[in-house]
Amino acid sequence: MANEECAHCGTLITEWSTVAKRDGKTFCCPNCANAYARSQQAPDEVPGARS
């Protein structure tokens, strides 16, 4: 497979057994795929910020 970077963290994907795909994007692992999905649901959310 071609060298590809994770759509969330930018890590070069060298191990394809952990790859997850979502919305036509390639992620290095399910955690990055879930983080991407979460950021799409709440794009203005700031981690750790409290009102």
Q: What is the pLDDT of residues 38-51, one digit of tens each?
A: 888 776 656 565 55
pTM: 0.73
| Beta carbons of 32 and 8 less than 8 angstroms apart | yes
Q: What is the pLDDT of residues 3-47, one digit of tens each?
A: 899 999 999 999 899 999 998 999 999 999 999 998 887 766 565
| Cβ neighbourhood burial of 27 (10 Å; 0-12, 13-18, 19+) | buried
CA-CA distance, 14 to 50, in Å (whole number)? 38
Give the Å distances, CA to CA, from 35 to 2, 11, 15, 41.
24, 14, 19, 10
